[in-house]
Amino acid sequence: MKELDNRVTLADAAAMLGISRVAVTKKLTLLGIEPIQIRKGNTEVQGLTPEHLRHLRSSRAGTSPVPGRPLVLSFQGCKGGIGKSTLSYNFALRASQYGLRVLCIDTDQQSHLTLCLCGKAPGNRCWYDLLEGQTTLREAIVPWREYLHIVPGTIHLALIDYKYNDRAHPEALFGRYLEEVEADYDLVVVDCAPSLSLLNQAVAYASDRIVIPQTPSRLSFDGLELTINFLEDLHENFEKQLDVRILCNMVEPDELSSIRIISHLSKTYGEALCRTFVHRSQTFLEAIDAGTSVFDYTLKADTARDDLDALTRELLADRLS
Ligand SMILES: Nc1ncnc2c1ncn2[C@@H]1O[C@H](COP(=O)(O)OP(=O)(O)O)[C@@H](O)[C@H]1O
Ligand SMILES: [Mg+2]
């Protein structure tokens, strides 16, 4: 079993910043940063922590990587098995590697994001306990890795819709709680249950960006339409502007079903369709089984890693420039 690691090699840092390795070394010297030794595969190599990457990025063009409150990005979709947990996990991890301070929130009672990140639930407080007044958000957060924290999921999340179905405004179940830790994070990543619940509505209301993964199967289309209608209701009832992105996942570029679906989604949703497609790859499953992310699973070239890096850059284009 590998240890989940969100530190990167100097070579990866250079690729992430779009500069040469020599240029990275020069910048590190200028900033007085000493690389650390990290283990990648069976070898010890020079590496950088998320905080180092943050310094390197903020030294570029003299801009700060933190424009105000955190960006809230949720993975939604009323169908299960479309990749919400797998993609939110690897996306959140990559964002932390770029030096963003990331808070993951698991709002699905199946707790798959928690399992991907931590192996098992690292605590017994979840969003339900927060609503019940049993904890504050700050107390519920588990600082799992540097710049990669989580409010874990537990089975008690299943009680939320049943107990809180009289809340008049979606803000009451989710968004207002984030204010407590607003200054501590650059990005909040929420993995949602496959449903059209009040909690999902509240998460959507608090989201600056909503990602709906879609697999190349006729069967997942109905789910996409239902989810879009659900979000449009939110728009109509609460006048909330929503930035919805549809993401093609498990794409097989040589298969007719993938080609047809991408073409259909592109015609129907235009700009809302992510330019990045995530290919079907065993690496997603094998990395989770090995207790790591797609960024650490293999040192060889790998589509899953390339796709998730491209997705992170696309979804965070306004934060990583
Ligand atoms: N691009 C992909 N290639 C191969 N398998 C994938 C891919 N994305 C997700 N999976 C696998 O599909 C299954 C369902 O994904 P999951 O993230 O649990 O979906 P959801 O959260 O929407 O229910 C998991 O076993 C996951 O590892
Ligand atoms: Mg899931």
Pairing mode, if any, of strands 43-48 and 36-40? antiparallel
DSSP letter at 35 equals P
pLDDT of residue 118: 94
Q: What is the CATH number of the domain that holds 101?
A: 3.40.50.300
Is the C-beta atom of 201 inside 6 A of ligand 1? no
- Which domain range does residue 268 map to? 66-320
Task: Identify whether residues 23 and 150 lie together within a single domain.
Answer: no
Assess whether 52 and 84 both reside in one domain.
no
Asked if 103 and 146 sit in the same domain, the reply is: yes
What pLDDT is attached to residue 311? 98
- Across 10-95, the runs of DSSP E, i.e. the strands, are 36-40, 43-48, 71-75
Question: Residues 58, 72: one domain?
Answer: no
- Kindly identify the ligand whose nearest atom is closest to the C-alpha of 88: 1
Q: Give the pLDDT confidence of 193-238 residue by residue, as tens digits.
A: 999 999 999 999 999 999 999 999 877 788 999 999 999 988 888 8
Contact predicate 176/210, CB 8 Å: no
**Res 1: pLDDT:** 61
Cα–Cα distance for residue pair 149/191, rounded to 1 Å: 14
Whether 101 contacts 184, CB under 8 Å: yes
Q: Which atom of ligand 1 is nearest to the CA of 112?
A: 18
Residue with tokens 């190599």: 45
Domain boundary among 16, 45, 64: 64
**What's the 284 CA to ligand 1 centre distance in angstroms?**
7
Q: pLDDT value at position 202? A: 95
SS3 13: helix
> Which residues does the chain have with pLDDT short of 70?
1, 60-67
Report whether residue 183 contacts ligand 1, using a CB cutoff of 6 Å. Answer: no
140 lines ligand 1 (CB under 6 A): no
Residue 53 and residue 137 in one domain: no
Q: Could you give the number of structural domains in the chain?
A: 2
Terminal Cα distance for the chain, rounded: 35
Q: Which residues pair with 9 in a beta bridge?
A: 47
Our answer on whether the CB atom of 155 is closer than 6 Å to any ligand 1 atom is no
Q: Distance, CA 81 to ligand 1 centroid (Å)?
A: 6
Give burial (CB, 10 Å; 0-12/13-18/19+) of 282. exposed
End-of-domain residue from the set 64, 79, 105? 64
The Cα–Cα gap between 134 and 67 comes to 32
Indicate which residue's Cα is closest to atom 10 of ligand 1: 83
Pair 199, 262 in one domain:
yes
Of 64, 79, 107, the one marking the end of a domain is: 64
In degrees and rounded to multiples of 5, residue 297 shows phi and psi of: -70, -40
* Span 163-173, pLDDT tens digits: 998 877 888 89
Which ligand 1 atom is the nearest neighbour of the CA of 88? 17
How high is the pLDDT of residue 79?
A: 93
Residue 45's DSSP bridge partners are: 38
Task: Specify whether 265 is located in the same domain as 241.
Answer: yes
Which residue bears the tokens 């180092």? Answer: 52
- Distance between CA atoms of residues 153 and 283, nearest Å: 24
Assess whether 126 and 242 both reside in one domain: yes
Binding site membership of 194 for ligand 1 (Cβ less than 6 Å): yes
Q: What is the CATH number of the domain that holds 29?
A: 1.10.1660
pLDDT at 65: 47
Do 240 and 177 belong to one domain? yes
Residues 257 and 185 in one domain: yes
> How many Å lie between the centroid of ligand 2 and the Cα of residue 91?
14
Q: Are residues 53 and 126 in the same domain?
A: no
Q: Alpha-carbon dihedral of residues 185, 190, 191, 197, nearest 10 degrees?
A: 160
223 near 200, Cβ under 8 Å?
no
Q: What is the dihedral of CA 307, 312, 315, 317, to 10 degrees?
A: -120
Same domain for 126 and 37: no
